A and B are shown apart, each in its own frame.
Chain A
């Protein structure tokens, strides 16, 4: 089948094309839109880049956590006698020896429950003791010698827990509506096709390559932290509230953060425990979470069950979309994984109704993970759309085009900018979608069945109030100072590009200093928000600096402070807020898979992703992020799952040998990524929206749709397992 509106040929100039870009650091172009390399590259490829805790003050103690082996109950006894006798062990701390804290504000604290404030055990892997020692070996051995006795309590599991409506009051995770309803239910006589299916995604962990690390030191009544974080200021605020001290006395630095993907966004118990330990022993303490510790100490993407009901008329127009999602949360927080976040804005439909529920389990609180909300939710919606297309005998792309939303379908607001149609058509052209056979099982190469699938991508536009300072010296060098974090997303590259363009100076004269609460405040590096938010503040600072440039004839240095806030002078906004516009990023992803049915193998062969995400500051680093997102989507689709044994409330494997993440051999080099040329005048001061999470949405649906196209099997539960595919 050929789409009714065949993709027209396009002029290459209209596309910001990261795939065609080659070249080194010496490329002459420097401003916004230039594909310049990373200034931090040399430090990273030589090992010179220092991550948190890689430089330690003399006398630093190593901390190792002892964690609960049960998921529910109380600690009745801790015998630390053997541990204390291990040579090199200095102290063993328990809930009885730690200072008491004020309640944790959620967020920036990731969960309201703080372990080791009393003897309660709320989840497996919860810290119950801390061993402090002169060497890492001694701390590890000591931790193994602590004997903890428990009295087990009742266990609440995802399968058995009741689905309840999450609290919307006093719940930092309920920042959008829990239930929405727009339009009217369809006239049954108009309905030509219906889909009513349940789609689920697995619990997964972020697994950044760098496990979380905190190095805490008290200097008088001030605290100095080196932390692997996505949000320096978040740690300051959380600690200030919990310890009852002034925020300005807490100094947090993160020189580099070795990936986060959400798990280093908010503040987790280990960071607080490191600070308390350092207080108790009066020495600096470094606490590295082990890889195992990361599974229960820094959040996870919760399992999400989505029921999606679609109804369409004979012309393929959506009459109704109903999307209800339910996710795991902890016993103490209502973390809301808004599975239907994308469903609310993606397609025009006579009716759109969504809801989100949670089930309280013996587990830590989930947290945002690339990509939250739309990430799990779009698997459901975009799989259902594929099923609907098949039921209507329509091409899946054509079905999307027929239901293209020109305005926000929930409330009629205009979009700040949306060029999704261009992304659909160009991505389809590059992929060669018009050659797709409509029926499954039509393409074969040797042992391999070949399938093509596509899906839409959509992500909320998270925006955070941010500030920056720009200094310029008489020698023409420029320094940008801003508290934001480098987690791999490239601020060292894009912030100087913005300053170079606004100030009209060569890029090599602009330097960025970041990663500290001693620098101007920004939001966290999450929600794909940093470039648009902090970048807008950098632009503002540069524009304020410009009129002062003549002063440099008399002064050795001038500076200006810049600030940027979402509309309405608010600190945070995810949907366009008071701008009057609905803000999302958009995209289309096409995937080709090969399936060996007799061995149950699923392999990705190529993918095309086209995105409408506002102005692209650096196509080279942007391309890398989108490729990363597609790989994350592949992992979600085919490999990643943190299996929980519900009998014990414990993950089966808390490591990288029993949990599969994609390796190089899984990922084809043929991943074609492009951005539609766009300037969003509303979302930010620099015309940009976010990109980091967008690329990870839709992909798993495109792959599952391709698996259907290859085999005729519709798989509605991720990850797609060998046992699902084997014939």
Chain B
């Protein structure tokens, strides 16, 4: 594989190292990343934001769900480089500045909507988006629209109940 300079000579627009400027949980971030670095590895390995989890690294489990410009996405399937000038919100960015849990987080605790907790950050972020999208109106809709997040402890009925309740409470 050619090094940076060799590639640059061919086509100046291309680079293997990216000076990434983006916003994570409201904070401006400027960091050198590799072009191939996923948003997930960027968050976990470069930023130390380990709340976002790596369950499959192929877009098949949802443990890495984050909000990218307000929409839920799998961070493992997103290049960090493509998040330039974007706004990324992870589970660490959901609670209030005073540490107060948001409605989804509180409802997850109240409904015992997790056990081991490893899928939980992804579930919580996904639920926040699910409610904002208007997909938390009834049980069947929540079940379908929360199906992008696997939970091997299998707290699905409790997750569904928590999402419905948080939606009813209205503040996410």
Given contacts A24-B109, A136-B41, A291-B57, contact A209 B63 (CB under 8 A): yes
Q: How far is the CA of A346 from the CA of B143 in the complex (A)?
A: 36
Residue of B nearest to A213 (CB): B54
Scan A520-534; emit 1 where CB is below 8 A from any B CB, else 0. 000000000000000
- B51 / chain A contacts, CB cutoff of 8 Å: 46-48
Scan B84-100; emit 1 where CB is below 8 A from any A CB, else 0. 00000011101100000
A37 touches B (CB below 8 Å): yes
A586 touches B (CB below 8 Å): no
Residue of B nearest to A663 (CB): B147
Given contacts A41-B108, A46-B51, A656-B60, contact A667 B118 (CB under 8 A): no
Residue of A nearest to B148 (CB): A663
User: Are A661 and B37 in contact, CB atoms less than 8 angstroms apart?
Assistant: no
- B148 / chain A contacts, CB cutoff of 8 Å: 663
Contact check: which of B45, B57, B151 meets A135 at CB < 8 Å? B45
- B49 / chain A contacts, CB cutoff of 8 Å: 47
Number of interface residues of A (CB under 8 A): 66
- A258 / chain B contacts, CB cutoff of 8 Å: 53, 116-118
Scan B128-158; emit 1 where CB is below 8 A from any A CB, else 0. 0000000000010011101111111111111
Scan A23-48; emit 1 where CB is below 8 A from any B CB, else 0. 11100000000000110111111111
- A257 / chain B contacts, CB cutoff of 8 Å: 116
A49 touches B (CB below 8 Å): yes
- B104 / chain A contacts, CB cutoff of 8 Å: 45
A669 touches B (CB below 8 Å): yes
User: Are B155 and A624 in contact, CB atoms less than 8 angstroms apart?
Assistant: yes
Q: Within residues 114 to 132 of chain B, which ones have a CB less than 8 A from any CB in chain A? A: 114-121, 124
User: Are A668 and B157 in contact, CB atoms less than 8 angstroms apart?
Assistant: yes
> Shortest CB–CB separation between residue A488 and chain B, in angstroms?
3
A655 touches B (CB below 8 Å): yes
Given contacts A45-B108, A46-B91, A47-B91, contact A208 B116 (CB under 8 A): yes
User: Are A37 and B41 in contact, CB atoms less than 8 angstroms apart?
Assistant: no
User: Are A667 and B156 in contact, CB atoms less than 8 angstroms apart?
Assistant: yes
A610 touches B (CB below 8 Å): no
B81 touches A (CB below 8 Å): no
User: Are B157 and A210 in contact, CB atoms less than 8 angstroms apart?
Assistant: no
Scan B62-98; emit 1 where CB is below 8 A from any A CB, else 0. 0100000000000000000000000000111011000
User: Are B124 and A45 in contact, CB atoms less than 8 angstroms apart?
Assistant: yes
Contact check: which of B55, B101, B155 meets A211 at CB < 8 Å? B55
B50 touches A (CB below 8 Å): yes
B24 touches A (CB below 8 Å): no
Scan A656-687; emit 1 where CB is below 8 A from any B CB, else 0. 11000111111111010000000000000000
User: Are B57 and A290 in contact, CB atoms less than 8 angstroms apart?
Assistant: yes
A632 touches B (CB below 8 Å): yes
Which of A22, A211, A259, A290 has its CB near the most chain B CB atoms (within 10 A)? Answer: A259
B39 touches A (CB below 8 Å): no
Q: Within residues 270 to 322 of chain A, which ones have a CB less than 8 A from any CB in chain B? A: 288, 290-291
User: Are B112 and A38 in contact, CB atoms less than 8 angstroms apart?
Assistant: yes
User: Are B61 and A209 in contact, CB atoms less than 8 angstroms apart?
Assistant: yes
Q: How far is the CA of A55 from the CA of B157 in the complex (A)?
A: 32
B56 touches A (CB below 8 Å): yes
> Shortest CB–CB separation between residue A16 and chain B, in angstroms?
15
- A630 / chain B contacts, CB cutoff of 8 Å: 154
A54 touches B (CB below 8 Å): yes
Majority secondary structure of chain B interface residues (helix, strand, loop or mixed): loop
> Shortest CB–CB separation between residue B60 and chain A, in angstroms?
4
User: Are A47 and B90 in contact, CB atoms less than 8 angstroms apart?
Assistant: yes
- A45 / chain B contacts, CB cutoff of 8 Å: 91, 101, 104-105, 108-109, 114, 117, 120-121, 124
- B167 / chain A contacts, CB cutoff of 8 Å: none
User: Are A37 and B109 in contact, CB atoms less than 8 angstroms apart?
Assistant: yes
Residue of A nearest to B37 (CB): A137
User: Are B121 and A209 in contact, CB atoms less than 8 angstroms apart?
Assistant: no
A383 touches B (CB below 8 Å): no
Given contacts A209-B150, A667-B143, A668-B157, contact A47 B92 (CB under 8 A): yes
- A40 / chain B contacts, CB cutoff of 8 Å: 117
A261 touches B (CB below 8 Å): yes
Q: How far is the CA of A260 from the CA of B36 in the complex (A)?
A: 31
Contact check: which of B44, B92, B119, B139 meets A46 at CB < 8 Å? B92
B22 touches A (CB below 8 Å): no
Q: How far is the CA of A538 from the CA of B125 in the complex (A)?
A: 37
Residue of B nearest to A40 (CB): B117
User: Are A207 and B152 in contact, CB atoms less than 8 angstroms apart?
Assistant: yes
A71 touches B (CB below 8 Å): no
A256 touches B (CB below 8 Å): yes
A50 touches B (CB below 8 Å): yes
Contact check: which of B57, B63, B117 meets A44 at CB < 8 Å? B117
> Shortest CB–CB separation between residue A726 and chain B, in angstroms?
23
User: Are A628 and B63 in contact, CB atoms less than 8 angstroms apart?
Assistant: no
Contact check: which of B101, B108, B121, B147 meets A665 at CB < 8 Å? B147
- A625 / chain B contacts, CB cutoff of 8 Å: 115
Residue of A nearest to B114 (CB): A44
A91 touches B (CB below 8 Å): no
- A666 / chain B contacts, CB cutoff of 8 Å: 156
User: Are B139 and A669 in contact, CB atoms less than 8 angstroms apart?
Assistant: yes
- B152 / chain A contacts, CB cutoff of 8 Å: 206-209, 259, 261, 661
- B34 / chain A contacts, CB cutoff of 8 Å: 135, 137
User: Are A37 and B120 in contact, CB atoms less than 8 angstroms apart?
Assistant: no
A517 touches B (CB below 8 Å): no
Residue of B nearest to A634 (CB): B154
Contact check: which of A51, A55, A656, A667 meets B154 at CB < 8 Å? A667
- A206 / chain B contacts, CB cutoff of 8 Å: 152
Contact check: which of A137, A631, A669 meets B36 at CB < 8 Å? A137
A372 touches B (CB below 8 Å): no
User: Are B116 and A488 in contact, CB atoms less than 8 angstroms apart?
Assistant: yes
A225 touches B (CB below 8 Å): no
User: Are B112 and A37 in contact, CB atoms less than 8 angstroms apart?
Assistant: yes
- A261 / chain B contacts, CB cutoff of 8 Å: 152
Given contacts A46-B91, A47-B90, A664-B149, contact A656 B56 (CB under 8 A): yes
- A46 / chain B contacts, CB cutoff of 8 Å: 51, 91-92, 94-95, 101, 105
Given contacts A37-B110, A655-B60, A657-B58, contact A669 B144 (CB under 8 A): no
- A628 / chain B contacts, CB cutoff of 8 Å: 115, 153-155
- A662 / chain B contacts, CB cutoff of 8 Å: 154, 156
> Shortest CB–CB separation between residue A242 and chain B, in angstroms?
28
> Shortest CB–CB separation between residue A360 and chain B, in angstroms?
30
A621 touches B (CB below 8 Å): yes
User: Are A669 and B160 in contact, CB atoms less than 8 angstroms apart?
Assistant: yes
Q: How far is the CA of A358 from the CA of B34 in the complex (A)?
A: 49
A620 touches B (CB below 8 Å): yes
Q: Within residues 104 to 137 of chain A, which ones have a CB less than 8 A from any CB in chain B? A: 135-137
- B157 / chain A contacts, CB cutoff of 8 Å: 627, 667-669, 671
User: Are B54 and A211 in contact, CB atoms less than 8 angstroms apart?
Assistant: yes
A72 touches B (CB below 8 Å): no
Could you give 18 example pairs across A and B, Cβ below 8 Å? A25-B110, A37-B109, A41-B109, A45-B101, A46-B51, A46-B101, A47-B92, A49-B117, A135-B45, A136-B45, A208-B152, A209-B116, A488-B115, A620-B112, A627-B157, A664-B149, A664-B159, A665-B143
Other A-B pairs, 16, CB within 8 Å; known A45-B121, A488-B117, A490-B115: A44-B117, A44-B120, A45-B104, A45-B120, A207-B152, A209-B119, A489-B115, A628-B115, A631-B154, A657-B60, A663-B150, A667-B154, A667-B157, A668-B157, A669-B139, A669-B157
Instruction: For the complex of A and B, list the 3 residue pairs with the smallest distance between their C-beta atoms, beginning with the closest.
Output: A47-B51, A258-B118, A488-B116
